[in-house]
Amino acid sequence: MFTNILGAFTLAFLTLALKFINPLSNAIDTQLNSKLERKMKLERHNREIKLLDLEIDKKSRE
């Protein structure tokens, strides 16, 4: 009987812990996704700048 009570308390504790951890995890995922999007945009802009620099160099040599 004691193990049943202990199991019930453990289950209740884990359920409450998940209710707090899940929103925190979602918030962290959202932040990471926005950082990843910004990084990808910066990388794309950097590639575009490099291509423009190459074009300028090519035209200046002509």
Q: Report pLDDT digits (tens) over 25-58.
A: 999 999 999 999 999 999 999 999 999 999 999 9
* Displacement of CA 61 from its chain's centroid (Å): 44
CA pair distance 53, 43, nearest whole angstrom: 15
Instruction: Name which residue leads in pLDDT, 19 or 2.
Output: 19
> Strand (E) positions, the chain?
none
Q: Is the pTM of this model over 0.85?
A: no
